[in-house]
A and B are shown apart, each in its own frame.
Chain A
């Protein structure tokens, strides 16, 4: 009962935050100097006021801001994000977002999975031999990898593996017209590796620190004293305690992964949410920008909510 009430309260808070975000988003975009129309067609508009009025009416910008906001927010409730202005003129934004979001989730999900597996291995290996050459090597590697800008790493991989060696595609999400999971996998390799590389370094450090702390505890000494093999000690007794805090951390990584994919998607021409956002920004396609920003906001709010709930479940003292 307590948990249910706690969950309800958090959900209500998230809903209020989301409404505030939509208002802020709409307000900020429309408060940009010049307004949407002038940003779309340039400062020179106004030479023909009649043409400007027609354009405003066409885009629905002749209505008061509050009415426009309520119309947009009301549309969101029924899944209507409005229509694109430039990127796909007249087409509903919703399906465009869905397609791009699907691609981004595949990319970021795979990258996260890879980062967790590799980062976990790096962290465990380092923690098991602290101060060793392996630990130092992995630490240095993590430092270099974690410090490499995503766009640089992506371009290096692209030049080596796509352009020079021609082993992998240089851009896109699949061979157009071909619906084959293996083909999609080939297109995923380079962007996933790029995106995962930085994450591997971070997760390696998280896991190493958590395990090192856990490995010094008394109950592990007891486990060893009972004669348990080291693998069992590590996997059954050390890992669960060490990794629990990382679960909450994982939730908070989700928005970063979605936002961080923007650069990677641009480098590899991957048709995801980030690339769509760049296209929309360059084209001053406000309905599309609003839709994507809203999805990112939902990702932030949703993952924070999940993180709070997970932490609360793991630690009941925090539910108050």
Chain B
């Protein structure tokens, strides 16, 4: 066989052609913009541009003094779009934020209700008042936060007939995103709808305390509470729904209507494009009451897991990476990464807790000795050290240190795995031939739920299942997508109460002060129109009484005392096994301004998205 030769020149030409093609493909680099003057480093929240008072700005209210006041700012509102171009460079047209999942339904504010504000809801909509990054209420569609000191809230009458009246005054010229005027009639409509049993709302704890809503004029809505009724969150009772869009649809059908995919509200951004499981694009609402938002387009996208989120951040594909609690195991790597000054890590101590929720109505888990044994068997410190580099706090409460009523040193069942076996033996559980406990012919096996997208949670689950196996309890780890596990109003196994145990990240304190998650009236059932989030099925009359007092007393000292005793009862009954208190973690590019994430998984980090901006150098 003869060797053939192509000329060297031809080979060079071929190689050059291929190289050119590949280079052309790689030509546009995605390196993040150069850092600006912003500081970088752990725990340093990005600086905020100074808010500027708006023309026709709301009136100021003095800082609350009475113990019963909700935390509220004086009524200042910025006009984001009206501000001059910032120092430091040109504003980017798009800000992209990445998180682990997006909601299946985009129906505004439902079924969560007032105490669970999603990131998407806060982009498309506005509440009358809304918590900021620290949980302090700020006026949005209302001119001010009603309080007892500014007269927006006041008691009327005496004795048993004493009532609370909360008055909202809407801003002038409010319009929905479709241009229809937004008036007090929309606020009254929302109240009527929230009281309708067919309307699929989880949390009616606040509106159930209200007798009626009066609308003396298009800009005023007055909420008249029932005699003797009070709620520390009274200032959040009002919110508007678009009456002109929703009123023609049966309440039970609303979530199946087009508004579940194309929400129209009064927020800073309008939904432009939504691709399930991929991304949602929002464009600025030119009719926003505070003026057009500073960044014309916000993209919320999904990554497969926290490692993919980090890789995409490093590749310069997003300005904001919302790890939340899932970033805890990545913290050392994030700390190393931000050393170059191009990014910042924001670590927010939070009200969030990681728990193993138990369904105490399941016979196998109904005995409190069993639940105590399950907690005793867990090596929570070991989990913290091995998975989270010792960065989180082991918890013996349903609250965290971020709540003023938190009791730090509550006792937890002790005795380790030996003690757990003894306790289970007392409860009648004895080891079978396979090492798994048996009682009355029943094997001790439970279904242990978690979500697919969360690698860190899966590690916890493996560790927990290992510890339980050591005492003869078999936990079948069952991972499913978020919506299959945590879907609201019967859409997920948890809300259907069709589970044994679940690893769950919750901000219980932000669920109406724990009421909707821990009060026995909030166990979802046909009888209460499936409202509430007490999926554990916890019933304890004393705990109910304490929680009701904590949610109805105008005196802060009385509320704190009730909460302290309640935490002790929780640790005795253990409807859920507390694991850790978690910081919430975010990675942002250093050129991003005004990103101020909240301290709760139930309060949207997008609460001030209209002020976000990213500056080029």
Show the binding face of A for B, using Cβ within 8 Å: 40-45, 47-48, 51, 84, 86-91, 96, 117-118, 121, 128-130, 132, 158-159, 162-164, 166-172, 175-177, 182-183, 185-186, 188-189, 212, 215-216, 230-231, 233-234, 266, 269, 271, 279, 282-284
Residues of B within 8 A of A176 (CB): 96, 279, 281, 299, 301
In angstroms, Cα B31 to Cα A269, docked, is: 19
Residues of A within 8 A of B616 (CB): none
In angstroms, Cα B2 to Cα A230, docked, is: 11
Which of A128, A164, A183 has a CB less than 8 Å from the CB of B5?
A128
* Interchain residue pairs with CB less than 8 A apart (23): A43-B476, A48-B498, A51-B498, A86-B484, A87-B481, A121-B18, A130-B1, A158-B311, A163-B315, A166-B31, A166-B32, A166-B314, A168-B26, A176-B301, A177-B297, A177-B299, A189-B25, A233-B4, A269-B308, A279-B277, A282-B479, A283-B481, A283-B484
B94 at the interface (CB under 8 A from A): yes
B28 at the interface (CB under 8 A from A): yes
In angstroms, Cα B17 to Cα A121, docked, is: 12
In angstroms, Cα B30 to Cα A163, docked, is: 11
Contact present for B308 and A171 (CB under 8 Å): yes
The listed residue with most A CB atoms (<10 A of its CB), out of B14, B30, B104, B481, is B30
Residues of A within 8 A of B2 (CB): 215
Show the binding face of B for A, using Cβ within 8 Å: 1-7, 10, 14, 18, 22, 24-32, 94, 96, 104-105, 256, 272-273, 276-279, 281, 297, 299, 301, 303-304, 308, 311-312, 314-317, 362, 447, 449, 452, 476, 478-481, 483-484, 490, 493, 496-500
Leading 4 A-B pairs by shortest Cβ distance: A88-B276, A170-B315, A162-B315, A170-B311
Residues of B within 8 A of A121 (CB): 14, 18
In angstroms, Cα B511 to Cα A258, docked, is: 47
Contact present for A171 and B303 (CB under 8 Å): yes
Contact present for B104 and A89 (CB under 8 Å): yes
Which of B28, B104, B493 has a CB less than 8 Å from the CB of A41?
B493
In angstroms, Cα B451 to Cα A102, docked, is: 29
Contact present for B303 and A269 (CB under 8 Å): yes
B309 to chain A, nearest CB (A): 10
Contact present for A282 and B14 (CB under 8 Å): no
Residues of A within 8 A of B14 (CB): 121
Contact present for A42 and B449 (CB under 8 Å): yes
Contact present for A171 and B312 (CB under 8 Å): yes
Contact present for A42 and B301 (CB under 8 Å): no
In angstroms, Cα B449 to Cα A44, docked, is: 10
A-B contacts besides A163-B314, A279-B277, 9 pairs, CB < 8 Å: A42-B449, A42-B480, A88-B277, A89-B105, A130-B1, A166-B31, A170-B315, A212-B1, A234-B4
Contact A42/B4 with A86-B481, A87-B277, A169-B315 known, Cβ cut-off 8 Å: no
Using CB atoms, name the residue of chain B closest to A182: B28
Contact present for A162 and B314 (CB under 8 Å): yes
Contact present for B498 and A128 (CB under 8 Å): no
Contact A177/B308 with A162-B315, A170-B317 known, Cβ cut-off 8 Å: no
Residues of B within 8 A of A41 (CB): 480, 484, 493, 498
Residues of A within 8 A of B279 (CB): 176
In angstroms, Cα B481 to Cα A41, docked, is: 10
In angstroms, Cα B447 to Cα A176, docked, is: 39
